[in-house]
Chain A
Amino acid sequence: MSSSVIERLDRESKNIENVKIVLEIEPPKLNSHQLKENIIKSHLEIIVLSMLAEISISGYDLIKEIFARYNVFLSQGTVYSLLYCLKDEGIIRAEFAKGDMRTKRYSATQEGKQIIEKRIDEFIEAEEYILNSIKNRRSIF
């Protein structure tokens, strides 16, 4: 990915008009960008699912939105593959945007919303357990 493309994405991501997402929580200032990138990539499915439960969005805008939220740029090859798999599993559906037959917007199906809610609950529970065990261990020292 060339620096000009990243700069363009950066500019565009600050001015996304068709994505109505309000970040209520300031993203944590991680020392290591690499660490953040690894976390995002290893939990990409749950991150994407949580976004698609709220909004209808194209693959391209999803990449921009993740960049805006986390400052992590993901490859189209990864993101579109994930969207196609989730669609095949019936969790999300694709519809053409109004008046634009070139852009497919993805959103959760009715059944998918329940699956997503369950997966998010399980994810939070597992993450909290791991984080708490790390915090407790740290308090010993």
Chain B
Amino acid sequence: MFRNSITGLDGLFKDGDIPKGSVILVTGIEGALKTSFIFNMFSNHIADTGEHGLYASLEETKESHLRNMESLGIRKSDLLHIFDYEDMRSESKNEELDIVKVTEDMIDFYREKYDNLTFFALDSLNAFYSISTGVNLRKNMYHFFTRLRDKDLTSFLILETCSPDKYVFVSSADHVEHPEYFLADGIIELGVIEAKENVKRYIQIRKMRGANHSMEKHQIMVGKDGISILGSVY
């Protein structure tokens, strides 16, 4: 159960959980703890279930990523496998990378190696789009999402947003620009609320098909043992 993997996360669900086999978008501005939240959730989930997980990092090397997580008190389990694209990108130089195929082959490799590989994270979709040379990649995301579901993985795709305006669709053109929002089975938003004298980080489940969840923003904090979620921010 993912809802028990972070202290306080179950408070965001009235009943149900993040459904197995779903594709979840994790959105938010820089510094909102998107990466830390997912990594912490994976590490704790592994400790509870003994399942294997795969974390694909397009933005950081494995070493840098682990250093950052350790500084937040989050330790990696041996059952959590990290794939960083850095070597491939630097060695391939200017050659075109079919990032979708590379990613699917990578997932298939780990699924074949570890029978109980059940969850996957891609950090981040922004980098995924920027590396890809496919002009219609965004339009083709439907197929990518479908194949992730076909692999029977619970997938978390991190998407960095520039401003809160990005979260709100005001016209049908936005759906074409950001198809991942309606293709995803769930959207978890992390962000920052600035008041007069303090700044709070929050987490909110904006959408979760198959689960009855709260729409409230809850405060999220980092302690010496990682992340925990408190009550409503208001």
A88–B114 CA distance with the chains assembled, in angstroms: 14
**Interface residues in B88-110 (C-beta closer than 8 Å to A):** 88, 90-92, 95-98, 101-110
Residue pair B92, A76 in contact (C-beta under 8 Å): yes
Complex interface: chain B residues within 8 A of A88 (CB): 81
B115 at the interface (CB under 8 A from A): no
Give the total number of A-B pairs whose CB atoms are below 8 A apart. 57
A81 at the interface (CB under 8 A from B): yes
Q: Is the interface of A mostly helix, strand, loop or mixed?
A: helix
- Min Cβ gap B168→A in Å is 35
Pick the contact of B97 from A58, A76, A82, A85 — CB < 8 Å? A76
Pick the contact of A77 from B81, B96, B101 — CB < 8 Å? B101
Residue pair A77, B113 in contact (C-beta under 8 Å): no
Complex interface: chain B residues within 8 A of A82 (CB): 109
Q: Is the interface of B mostly helix, strand, loop or mixed?
A: helix
Interface string of A51-66 (1 = CB under 8 A from B): 0000000111000000
**Interface residues in B75-96 (C-beta closer than 8 Å to A):** 81-83, 87-88, 90-92, 95-96
Residue pair B101, A60 in contact (C-beta under 8 Å): no
- Min Cβ gap B128→A in Å is 13
The residue in B87, B90, B92, B106 that gathers the most chain A C-beta atoms within 10 A of its C-beta is B87
Residue pair A60, B106 in contact (C-beta under 8 Å): no
A30 at the interface (CB under 8 A from B): no
A81–B128 CA distance with the chains assembled, in angstroms: 17
